[in-house]
Amino acid sequence: MKTNFPTPLIWKSILSSTIITAILLIIGLFRLCFLYQIVHRIKLFIPGIERYGTIYYVGLLLQLALCISIAVTIFLLLKFAGNFRLESIILSILGTLAFCNILIEGVAMNEFYSEYYLRKWNADFELSILNMGMILNLVFIGSGLWMIIKSWIVLRFNRRRNHYPINETVFEMTQYIGIACGIIGALFAYYGYLYLHHYRNRLKPDYIDWVYTCCLIFLLPYLSVIIFWILKLFVKRDRTLYDEKQKRDLSNAGLTTWLLSILILAVLIIPNLKIHSPALGVMILPFYIFITLLIFSSTVLFNFKKT
Amino acid sequence: MSQEELANAIGITRQSVHAIEKGKFVPSTLLAFKLARFFNTSVEELFYLLDN
């Protein structure tokens, strides 16, 4: 089956969306150069770094706008402009990581500035996080630009292309996003536990609120795709979202996740039964949520692709 | 005919068509009838039990 090529209104929507995304991608490139300069200046203790603070936080907001814009563009391209399956999957993974990195980068930059620049302490960990974030963003922006160029070629030459149904691609994307969120969230919960355990004697409620807010932010990309599925369910008349095999894959993954989560909880809790650490009580729920998300999405994807 | 053309016609995913072809997924009776109707044949012509 071939795609029906976009109507003029949809064509305009796709074009505006890709133009906005292209502009944000170019701004993102400038932001990366700016970030590199800030890190370089902090490393060398160049004075007057404070005046760039506002621009830096505006840059983070633009990065958020870029993630949203890319998500909208992916949806429009998948729905109306043919085969962008590979680009969509790659960008959904990179976009999820880039979205979570907004928070991680903001915190790491704040710590790098206050610990290294102001207090002259060692901040190699924060610096490595900032460097990894810059590499991730560079790959994300590069992939985004590739998708935009490809979409313009498709629109310009009005090519009719074979395509995968949007259901299948979004189903696959959902699992990749679940895996990315699961890995980031589980790592965060683990490091959060170490952090809270270290400060267990002077643990403030603010820390706990902050940790739970971060967990919620790391879940947002997955939640947004789930909301997409729910909206789709309401729009569809027959109330069926998945085909038989997808339902079987989801059921098998549910059972596997349930059994493995019992095992993981046992491994986590039994050795720590005699340790009275509030950190464990705080972090066990986020860790459980993210690890089950990781197992569930990985198992669904494995079943979907391999069986 | 490609897998995705068949998948779109029947209303399932390409991955499901692939799994049915490979014998990794056994479709329901309803889906078997849909496939048979699409190919203008009977279910027995499309699906059969192996002796062992």
Phi, psi of A215 (to 5 degrees): -60, -40
Q: Quick one: pLDDT at residue A168? A: 82
Q: Quick one: pLDDT at residue B33? A: 94
Q: Quick: pLDDT tens for A266-280.
A: 988 888 777 777 788
ipTM comes to 0.85
Q: Quick: pLDDT tens for A127-177.
A: 999 999 999 999 999 999 999 999 888 877 765 555 556 678 888 999 999
- Whether A164 and chain B come into contact, CB under 8 Å, resolves to yes
Question: Distance (Å, rounded) from C-alpha A190 to C-alpha A132?
Answer: 19
Cβ contacts of A219 within 8 Å, gap of 6 or more: A181, A185, A289, A293
Question: Distance (Å, rounded) from C-alpha A146 to C-alpha A140?
Answer: 10
Distance between A2 CA and the closest CA of chain B, angstroms: 9
- Whether B41 and chain A come into contact, CB under 8 Å, resolves to no
- Given a cut of 80, whether residue A241 has pLDDT beyond it is no
- Given a cut of 90, whether residue A20 has pLDDT beyond it is yes
Per DSSP, the three-state class of A202 is helix
- Whether B11 and chain A come into contact, CB under 8 Å, resolves to yes
Q: Quick one: pLDDT at residue A233? A: 80
Neighbours of A229 (CB within 10 A): 14
Find the CB nearest A165 among B13, B24, B27: B13
CB contact under 8 A, A167 and B13: yes
Distance between B16 CA and the closest CA of chain A, angstroms: 6
The sign one gets for the Cα dihedral A245, A4, A2, B34 is: positive
Find the CB nearest A168 among B9, B14, B28: B14
Cβ contacts of A190 within 8 Å, gap of 6 or more: A283, A287
Phi, psi of A23 (to 5 degrees): -60, -45
- Given a cut of 90, whether residue B29 has pLDDT beyond it is yes
Residues in chain B with CB shorter than 8 Å from the CB of A244 are 12, 16, 25, 27-28, 31
Q: Quick: pLDDT tens for A105-122.
A: 999 999 999 988 888 888
Q: Quick one: pLDDT at residue A1? A: 42
DSSP code, position B27: P
The torsion region of residue A46 among left (phi > 0), alpha (psi -120 to 50) and beta comes to beta
Chain Cα centroid distance, residue A234: 26
Q: Quick one: pLDDT at residue A257? A: 96
- Whether A117 and chain B come into contact, CB under 8 Å, resolves to no
Among A169, A245, A252, the residue to mutate for chain B (most B Cβ within 10 A): A245
For A164, nearest residue in chain B (alpha carbons): B4
Question: Distance (Å, rounded) from C-alpha A249 to C-alpha A252?
Answer: 5
Per DSSP, the three-state class of A284 is helix
Find the CB nearest B13 among A1, A245, A307: A245
Q: Quick: pLDDT tens for A40-50.
A: 999 889 888 88
Q: Quick one: pLDDT at residue A82? A: 66
Q: Which pTM does this prediction carry?
A: 0.87
